[in-house]
């Protein structure tokens, strides 16, 4: 800020393009200047204040609803008068709520004298601002009578002059409320970034990584566009602040393309659509690199121009996948529809196509919150969709098992009929019939063994275990003794298969089965392979402390296994869930299994290679 010497205002005061705004004795706490200003376009960016004051005929009124001139290389001068009718000096803040402007100059005249002037802009250190605020806030003291305000704006981005005149105390109050709202928006985005980052580390689902990358990029874009990063994160990094917006735009577009392509599974659904998004991703990646070397006014225009095609393409592909039966794309479509609407408002305001309003100013916040919430529902919805597919596959497997059991029953009935028929035959056929019965018995025993034994590990299979679980629950309930179920599976089993191949994974399953077969010695205990890399142990009359001790011994023994596969020692660990208690006669045996499975899931969440007991 500089308090200058006298400077004549000249005849410009009398021209129609020098509007007068009256401040009565009961002056308003906030005054919106809007388009009530004269404007002078400086195509050369070289006009001085003296030249501007000497050229009253060049001033023009603002004819559209908002002083928004979009992307332009020109500098713009604005002027208006504040008529202080209170009879005493009035302290006021003049706020320009557009933080991303290269050059902001304000000149305050009273009675023909230059009282106050400011030379601000995001090309200057933040510490030089007279008020610590993310926007340009310039204190002035309005003298009684006429006060002439001149404003010069120049930027490599958009030019907006939505000026406000504030009573200082009211400004601080409103500013606190606005920062609370911004804090809520940023808090929501930040929480979603951190939460989904943890989900990514837990699941290794690349969709979460792309989602986190997009939300984080958009979060920093929003904070940079609104001036908060320059105010609080890098107030002295002028060069970086000069191109940060275009960098985060390019980054958000890149992660948007990657997320859409992978989440919608376009590589397997439509190669042209997949390559189209891949092309957009390559363009965004190239733009991301160019933001560090190319002029900001070029990269920000290219980034803004790419935003709509990328968003519309991603949205159209989402609706296409939804229309073709991919129900998991429904929340995705709603999320990007909300975001597209907000981007249309934001870009229309930036290009000066519509007047600036509370909706255009906060369109990105509204759209971002809706996008984050709906995309979170999108990811959860797809997880449920995939789970439904797995359940359907399990139901099909159970149907095949039911048919196998029906075939077994039919075979038994055929055996009974054959026995009855054999009794009616003559003695001469007795030896032949006995031989036939023997062959049928061997086949039946083999079928019975195949239907209850896992072929890979030679342990009992899931069908046998399900029947044993029902029987043992009834017995334990009748005798009022504890029944313990231990469920465990191999940690990172997919990694073993991906690294050493599926034969190595099979070798690990056989080694684990052999170890556990030696550990389970009681005739009443049941050891079975439940499916994939999952195993279960059912122990009769085993209280929880004893069960946990045994589970820990199992875990330690398994951790010590070294499986020799083609000259390579493979080691692995397991996570175990334990559920123990006296079952009630009315309880569903599957509740015991579900509780052990939940404890197993908790062991996974707690870092794997551990034992957890169900509540």
Q: What are 449's two structure tokens?
A: 């063994």
* Residue 4, pLDDT above cutoff 70: no
**Cβ-count burial 561-592 (b if 16+ within 10 Å, e if not):** bebebeeeebebbbbbbbbbbebeeeeebeeb
| In contact, 189 and 226? CB cutoff 8 Å | no
Residues with Cβ within 8 Å of 50's Cβ and at least 6 positions away in sequence, in order, are 7
Residues with Cβ within 8 Å of 468's Cβ and at least 6 positions away in sequence, in order, are 460, 526, 528, 538
In whole angstroms, give the CA distance from residue 111 to residue 131: 26
Angle in degrees, CA 38, 44, 48, rounded to 5: 60
| In contact, 494 and 488? CB cutoff 8 Å | no
Higher pLDDT, 340 or 542: 542
| In contact, 361 and 98? CB cutoff 8 Å | no
Distance of alpha carbon 247 from the chain centroid:
20
* pLDDT value of position 579: 93
- What would the pLDDT profile of 329-339 be if each residue is shown by its tens digit? 777 777 778 77
What value does the mean pLDDT take over residues 306-318?
A: 87
- What would the pLDDT profile of 453-512 be if each residue is shown by its tens digit? 888 999 999 989 999 999 999 999 999 999 999 999 999 999 999 999 999 999 999 999
* Residue 256, pLDDT above cutoff 70: yes
| Mean pLDDT score across all residues of the chain | 83
DSSP-derived letter for residue 446 is H
- pTM of the shown model: 0.54
**Confidence category of residue 354, pLDDT binned at 50, 70, 90:** low
Domains and CATH numbers, the chain: 10-166 (2.60.40.2380), 173-390 (1.20.1070.10), 455-613 (3.30.70.270)
Tell me whether strands 68-71 and 483-490 are parallel, antiparallel or unpaired.
unpaired
């Amino acid at each position: 800020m500089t308090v200058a010497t006298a400077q004549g205002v000249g005849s410009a005061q009398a021209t129609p393009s020098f509007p007068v705004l009256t401040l009565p004795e009961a002056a308003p706490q906030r005054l919106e200047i809007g388009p009530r200003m004269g404007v002078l376009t400086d195509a050369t960016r070289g006009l001085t204040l003296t030249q501007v004051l000497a050229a009253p005929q060049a001033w023009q009124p603002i004819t559209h609803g908002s002083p928004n001139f979009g992307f332009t290389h020109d500098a713009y001068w604005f002027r208006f008068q504040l008529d202080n009718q209170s009879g005493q000096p009035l302290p006021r803040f003049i706020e320009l709520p557009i933080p991303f402007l290269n050059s902001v100059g304000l000149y305050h005249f009273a009675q023909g004298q230059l009282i106050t002037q400011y030379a601000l802009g995001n090309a200057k250190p933040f510490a030089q601002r007279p008020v610590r605020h993310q926007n340009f806030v310039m204190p002035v003291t309005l003298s009684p009578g006429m006060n002439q305000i001149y404003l010069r704006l120049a930027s490599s981005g958009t030019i907006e002059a939505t000026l406000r005149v504030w009573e200082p105390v009211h400004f601080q109050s409103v500013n606190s409320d606005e920062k609370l709202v911004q804090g809520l928006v940023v808090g929501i985005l930040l929480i979603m970034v951190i939460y989904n980052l943890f989900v990514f580390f837990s699941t290794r689902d690349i969709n979460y990584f792309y989602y986190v990358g997009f939300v984080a990029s958009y979060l920093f874009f929003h904070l940079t566009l609104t001036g908060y990063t320059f105010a609080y994160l890098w107030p002295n990094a002028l060069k970086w602040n000069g191109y940060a917006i275009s960098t985060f735009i390019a980054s958000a577009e890149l992660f948007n393309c990657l997320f859409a392509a992978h989440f919608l599974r376009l590589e397997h659904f439509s190669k042209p659509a997949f390559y189209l998004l891949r092309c957009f991703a390559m363009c965004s990646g190239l733009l991301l690199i160019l933001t560090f070397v190319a002029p900001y006014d070029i990269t920000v225009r290219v980034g803004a121009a790419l935003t709509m095609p990328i968003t519309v393409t991603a949205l159209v592909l989402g609706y296409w996948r939804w229309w073709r039966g991919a129900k998991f794309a429904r929340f995705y479509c709603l999320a990007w529809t909300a975001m597209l609407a907000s981007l249309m408002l934001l870009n229309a305001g930036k290009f000066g196509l519509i007047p600036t309003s509370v909706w255009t100013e906060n369109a990105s916040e509204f759209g971002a919150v809706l996008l984050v919430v709906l995309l979170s529902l999108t990811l959860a919805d797809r997880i449920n969709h995939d789970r439904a597919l797995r359940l359907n596959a399990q139901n099909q497997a159970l149907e095949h098992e039911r048919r196998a059991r029906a075939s077994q029953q039919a075979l038994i009935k055929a055996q009974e009929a054959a026995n009855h028929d054999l009794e009616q035959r003559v003695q001469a056929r007795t030896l032949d019939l006995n031989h036939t019965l023997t062959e049928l018995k061997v086949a039946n025993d083999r079928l019975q063994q195949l239907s209850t034994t896992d072929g890979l590990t030679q342990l009992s299979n899931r069908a046998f275990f399900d029947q044993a679980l029902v029987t043992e629950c009834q017995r334990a309930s009748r005798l009022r003794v504890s029944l313990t179920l231990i469920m465990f599976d191999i940690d990172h089993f997919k990694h073993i298969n991906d690294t050493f191949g599926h034969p190595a994974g099979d070798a690990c399953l056989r080694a684990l089965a052999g170890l556990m077969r030696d550990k389970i010695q009681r005739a009443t205990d049941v050891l079975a392979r439940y499916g994939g890399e999952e195993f279960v142990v059912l122990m009769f009359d085993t209280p929880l402390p004893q069960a946990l001790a045994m589970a820990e011994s199992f875990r330690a023994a398994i951790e010590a296994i070294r499986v020799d596969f083609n000259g390579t020692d493979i080691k692995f660990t397991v996570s175990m869930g334990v559920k123990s208690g006296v079952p009630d006669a009315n309880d569903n045996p599957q509740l015991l299994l579900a509780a052990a499975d939940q404890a197993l899931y908790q062991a996974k969440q707690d870092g794997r290679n551990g034992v957890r007991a169900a509540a």
